[in-house]
Amino acid sequence: MSLSVAQPAGFPARLAQTLLSPWSRFGLLIVLLATAATLVLVFEPQRLITDGGIAQLSGALAVLLFAAAYGTCTTAFLPRPFLNLAAGALFGAQLGLGAALAGTAVGAGISFGMGRLLGQDALRPLLKHKLLTKADRQLSRHGFRTMLIMRLLPGIPFAGSNFTAAVSRMSWPAFLSATILGSIPNTAAYVVAGSQAGTPNSPAFMVAFGFIAVSGVGGVVFAWRKRAKMRAATARAAGVPADAATEAPQPLDAPQVAAAEEKVPAAQAA
């Protein structure tokens, strides 16, 4: 004789099912992010970082508090370069880099976890557009490599890339390891620049500033080339040759111009 498990029924069960539905959780995610962004704008918790109050504490405790504040602020969409400069100004180059990378991992982990828990089930069924499907496939199959490139390139929104990765099927280890490794170069440049902000003519500051500028230009070039490849792929999918879609029309030489002029009166007479 088989025993049947009694299924919960009634209003409490329906309420629990509604609250745990994908779109209810996604709505909670939107509310949490909007609340965090509002609190950052109103109370400006980044002042705890920039005013030097954290740096007055002991070394390890100061780094932990800085990493926690850093991660919270990045989840609320505060730009990381600003926080990286503050890390260098407060702790110096070496300790500041460790504090900034720890904060980067904290902020990325919070955003990725929130997106995976509250947003993935609601947003994955919407990935029907060809470009969105391709991006999801790239992140799901080649998560570490793709996220590493995204972290190395400046200009890509930190919080946006975190939530985009959360909607995909990328694993936690691939996401966190690629985030930490890929964030080292640009984070180090900003931290060094912040540590040398009082001496802008120093070689360390000039090298750090030069690296930031070169990486920015490199990011623009990479994005432009990627856009050109995507346009060519779209043209091939539509049946248009890639060279015809991208090449400009060539000017006519003198014999071709003369032949075209002779055809115009004949066409008008007809």
* Sign of the CA dihedral running 161, 165, 167, 173: negative
Structure tokens at 170: 């990328």
Residue 248 falls within a domain, yes or no?
A: no
Rg for the chain (alpha carbons), in Å?
27
CA–CA dist 179, 74 (Å, integer): 14
Residue 52 falls within a domain, yes or no?
A: yes
CA–CA dist 62, 60 (Å, integer): 5
Residue of 184, 174, 115 whose CA lies nearest to 151: 184
pLDDT at 63: 86
Domain containing 234 equals: 21-240
Residue 77 falls within a domain, yes or no?
A: yes
CB atoms inside a 10 Å sphere around CB 259: 10
**pLDDT (tens digit, 9 = 90+) per residue, 26-75?**
999 999 999 999 988 888 877 766 665 676 666 788 888 889 989 999 99
CA–CA dist 202, 127 (Å, integer): 49
Structure tokens at 167: 């909607």
Residue 220 falls within a domain, yes or no?
A: yes
Tally of structural domains, the chain: 1
Cα 152 to Cα 139, 168, 186, distances in angstroms: 16, 20, 7
CB-based contact 161:111 (threshold 8 Å): no
Residue 2 falls within a domain, yes or no?
A: no
Residue 107 falls within a domain, yes or no?
A: yes
Residue 197 falls within a domain, yes or no?
A: yes
pLDDT at 117: 94
DSSP class of residue 125 equals: G
Residue 11 falls within a domain, yes or no?
A: no
Per-residue pLDDT of the chain (270 residues; tens, 9 = 90+): 444 445 555 777 777 777 789 999 999 999 999 999 998 888 887 776 666 567 666 678 888 888 998 999 999 999 999 999 999 988 999 999 999 999 999 999 999 999 999 999 999 988 887 778 888 999 999 999 999 999 998 889 999 999 999 999 999 999 999 999 999 999 999 999 999 988 888 999 999 989 989 988 887 887 788 777 767 766 676 666 555 544 444 554 555 545 555 554 454 444
